[in-house]
Homo-oligomer: A and B are copies of this chain.
Amino acid sequence: MPDSQISNKEMEALRVIRSHLMKYGKMPSVRELMKELNYRSPRSASVMIQKLISKNILEKKTDGSIRLIRYEVGETGGISQEQTVKVPLLGTVTCGLPVYAEENIEAEIAVSTKIARQPGKYYLLRTQGDSMNLRGINDGDLVLVKHQEHAENGDIVVALIDNEVTVKELKINEENVVLLPQSANKAHTPIILSRDFAIQGIVVSVIPL
């Protein structure tokens, strides 16, 4: 039995939840959701959450807390019934490399297998900053990252620079390796690397906020 259709109201709620998830790193409480959806009774928000659970968009974890499980990112970016893979959202990583750690997973997001082929090799990151806004990656967007250590010329890579996870374009030429920002903000300068540096993965897809 496929999940029934998602109404506009539910879409709106979903958007708010996702936005809250990105902003604060956790699910909104019933009363928080109430405010953000301009409800005047917590009941409305509660009902909405129940409805989203019944449509397999949210799930109740064993401890009772709620988690976002189903937000399919298809080719169209919309929610559909395609075959999907669950991809963990690792959140904003300020230092160190992103790890698959239960406590870091803010949500399980279903991504179309057309984009993320094998499970387990992909994760989602929330970006910070505007250094890639010419390539359609803006502050707060999610990027779907394929975990791999090697990248090729022109790939948008997730790299570990200056204690931060950075998203940049990789440029390899004869002499050196450069990470190019793609921004309208001139403050961002290319980073020139010696041979070895830590590539975390390459950006496969962008999910706008």
Contact = CB atoms under 8 A, between A and B. Distances in A.
B63 A5 contact: yes
28 contacts: A5-B61, A6-B63, A8-B65, A14-B103, A15-B103, A75-B100, A76-B101, A77-B99, A77-B104, A78-B103, A79-B102, A95-B208, A96-B136, A96-B138, A96-B206, A96-B208, A96-B209, A97-B136, A97-B206, A97-B208, A99-B208, A130-B163, A133-B160, A133-B163, A134-B193, A136-B160, A136-B200, A182-B198
Interface of A: 5-8, 11, 14-15, 26, 61-65, 75-80, 95-97, 99-105, 130, 133-136, 138-139, 141, 160-163, 169, 182, 184, 193, 196-198, 200, 206-209
A103 B8 CA distance: 8
Contacts of A130: 163
A157 to B, nearest CB: 13
Nearest to A25: B12
A26 B9 CA distance: 11
Contacts of A105: 78
A189 to B, nearest CB: 12
Contact of A100 (B62, B77, B102, B141): B77
B7 A65 contact: yes
Contact of A11 (B76, B103, B162, B206): B103
A79 to B, nearest CB: 6
A20 to B, nearest CB: 14
Contacts of A207: 99
A208 B103 CA distance: 13
